[in-house]
Chain A
Amino acid sequence: MTAVNEQMLPVVSEVISGLQHKPGALLPILHEIQNRLGYIPPESVPLIAEALNQSRADIHGVISFYHQFRTTAPGRHTVEVCRAEACQSMGARQLEAYAKATLGVDYHGTTSDQNITLEEVYCLGNCACSPSVRINDEIVGRVTPEKFDQLIDELRSQPLEVH
């Protein structure tokens, strides 16, 4: 585990040196680390703190404030179900329950095959064709349980990347 994280540290350093000159660089740095590695390894906190001349507690405080940042590895795909009002009016509560039951995980959980992490989201701006789901960077509208199954099947049938 630690060994894996250490392999990631060169990436973290590269991201930091590329972005630290920006005013208010912390969020861009955290986004880029999470983009490249899938999460923010706890070992990167001291590196960021040093580069930005802030305390580790400061950096940790920011990471934990935002719902988006995670400090553990997610599954290969992230599936976000919209929980906000427009989606509720079109059955989002039932869809959430269905998603949790069929994937066998709660929000923030990852399926045992490490394929899918389930997340909640409050509005994807697709409220006129709700309920909405986001799969990685793709947003899907009018999601019924059948359509949800189909989307998950597509994710599961994608060939695994060779690491």
Chain B
Amino acid sequence: MSDSVTKIYIPRDTTALAMGADRLAREIAAEAANRGETVEIIRNGSRGLFWLEPLVEVDTTAGRVAYGPVECKDIDSLFDQSFLLGENTHPLCQGLTEEIPYLKKQQRLTFARAGLTDPVSLDDYQQLDGFNGLKKALQIDGQAIVDEVKTSGLRGRGGAAFPTGIKWQTVLNANPGETGQKYIVCNADEGDSGTFADRMVMEADPYMLIEGMTIAGLAVGADQGYIYLRSEYPVAHQILNEAIAKAEHAGFLGTNILGSGKTFNLEVRLGAKAYICGEETSLLESLEGKRGMVRAKPPLPAIVGLFGQPTIVNNVLSLAAIPYILSNGGQAYADYGMGRSLGTLPFQLAGNIKQGGLIELAFGVTLRELLEEYGGGTFTGRPMRAVQVGGPLCAYLPESQWDTPMDYEAFQAIGAGLGHGGIVVFDDTVDMSEQARFSMEFCVAESCGKCTPCRIGSTRGVEVIDRIRNNENRAENMELLSDLCETMIDGSLCAMGGMTPFPVQSAVKYFPDDFDRQTQNSEGGA
């Protein structure tokens, strides 16, 4: 029995919870009480080493010692083997958390605090440089803030990679008319499969997003912000609301921020299960209380945005990079990366992968390094066959392309995209004609319906692929599919219809056998 308090960290992140973290926390508390040990359980965010979740960390004099993935059945043996002292005898012990290679090799700028802290503790946040960027921003004028963002080279992390500094400059210069109103909108719709970095920011370090949005408001003269959050993220919703209330109470948000006389109000708004509402103009329509129909551009949202007023729409990761940029200087951020892809990208390893999780690194790392060195191969132990990078509107990459450096231009050169940095791995049991069919099916379900090639074309796409899969007039139908893809690319207003063909075309191009049942049968039928 010891009389000092041992701190135990058990994440409250969605994935940790999905792997049983709540029950684990309750049972560890109960067992500690049973054994007369005094412990304090802190519900931190995740480090993003998701294959180890729930990852339990014990604070020791040597640092935080990690155990994972911990299940309730392990609790007894952990206590028996003195895990409260950080003993390394238990098979689940991973040693010092910071020394786990997966984490140690990363370049964490945006995710520097993720998993370290209680996400809603303002003290924790401030002890680790929190609000330094905001304090800096309060001392300089809007143009100087925008200049710092330009220097950073930051490009929008939501998918289109548009330079953030230029977008902010446009809103700064835009005339807001009589009302004088401008808005900051955070795109937290994170609809791409295989992506969870936005969610992690909101669940592990929400004040960083709040700080980034407040700085954006100061930069362009906007006093109202909205976070448009997908309703599929109930944990993020709760944590954001907790954090906003606390930040307001402590004077970091609301009127007279830190005594500066400046105002910035923030509200979370929920989406309602519509992928297209991640597209920025559709998102604005939704925020205005309408159907999420895509608007034609121009005018840009920067000039005519929410309720017709100049509006910054930025992805969570773009806004989350801002506090670092302000507090360390734009150049410090620009020193990472390659070519015109500067700074870091939080890559997200998902799907059939042994060590799935979040890996923040400077642009330029190759896909293969991520898959092999970090991912450690597939979860099923079978060979990898196809990797979809950048979400459901981006290409499937065959092994011959895995040595491409992760850089916007390098990916564009091979007809692929980085999107939001999501990487989804498939093993050799995947049927790529089924994946191609799904891309079309997803477009049928999620098209806003405004243009014919997208709305009708995707339905035809499903039908054509079905005929190919049934071996009906295969040659003619393959040609029809190719024409249809071209029509969707050329005739769609937004990237939903305009990019849905990319995964389809890549499947056809790199995995042709999967579209030919005869080949499959003659190969596999022996």
In the bound complex, how far is the Cα of B286 from the Cα of A28, in angstroms?
Answer: 11
Selecting from B99-107, B119-127, B167-175, B344-352, the interface stretch reads B344-352
Question: B289 touching A127 by the CB < 8 A rule?
Answer: no
Question: B426 touching A138 by the CB < 8 A rule?
Answer: no
With an 8 Å Cβ cutoff, the count of chain A residues facing the other chain is 42
Q: Given A68-B231, A125-B233, A129-B19, do A89 and B351 touch, yes or no (CB 8 Å)?
A: yes
In the bound complex, how far is the Cα of B307 from the Cα of A23, in angstroms?
Answer: 9
Tell me the chain B residues, 277-315 only, with Cβ under 8 Å from chain A. Answer: 286-292, 307
Chain B interface bracket (under 10, 10 to 19, 20 to 34, 35 or more): 35 or more
The interface residues of chain B, by DSSP majority, are classed as mixed
Tell me the chain A residues, 21-79 only, with Cβ under 8 Å from chain B. Answer: 23-28, 30-31, 52, 61-62, 65-69
Question: B349 touching A30 by the CB < 8 A rule?
Answer: no
Contact among A52, A65, A124 with B291 in the assembled complex (CB-CB below 8 Å): A65
Interface flags for A121-153 (1: CB within 8 Å of B; 0: not) read 111111111101010011111100000000000
Contact among B190, B236, B291, B350 with A86 in the assembled complex (CB-CB below 8 Å): B350
**B residues in contact with A126, CB < 8 Å:** 14-15, 18, 196
Question: B351 touching A86 by the CB < 8 A rule?
Answer: yes
Contact among B275, B287, B307, B424 with A122 in the assembled complex (CB-CB below 8 Å): B275
B209 to chain A, nearest CB (A): 15
In the bound complex, how far is the Cα of B290 from the Cα of A24, in angstroms?
Answer: 8
Tell me the chain B residues, 1-49 only, with Cβ under 8 Å from chain A. Answer: 14-15, 17-19
A88 within 8 A of B: yes
Contact among A52, A93, A123 with B193 in the assembled complex (CB-CB below 8 Å): A123
A105 within 8 A of B: no
Contact among A28, A68, A141 with B273 in the assembled complex (CB-CB below 8 Å): A68
B427 within 8 A of A: yes
**A residues in contact with B53, CB < 8 Å:** 129
Question: B194 touching A62 by the CB < 8 A rule?
Answer: no
What would 24 A/B residue contacts be, using CB atoms closer than 8 Å? A27-B271, A31-B231, A62-B291, A65-B291, A67-B445, A68-B231, A69-B272, A85-B351, A85-B438, A89-B352, A89-B424, A90-B351, A122-B193, A122-B273, A123-B191, A123-B193, A125-B14, A125-B196, A126-B196, A127-B424, A128-B51, A129-B356, A132-B18, A140-B18
Q: B residues near A, CB below 8 A?
A: 14-15, 17-19, 50-51, 53, 190-196, 199, 231-236, 269-275, 286-292, 307, 348-353, 356-357, 379, 388, 392, 422, 424-427, 430, 434-435, 438, 442, 445-446
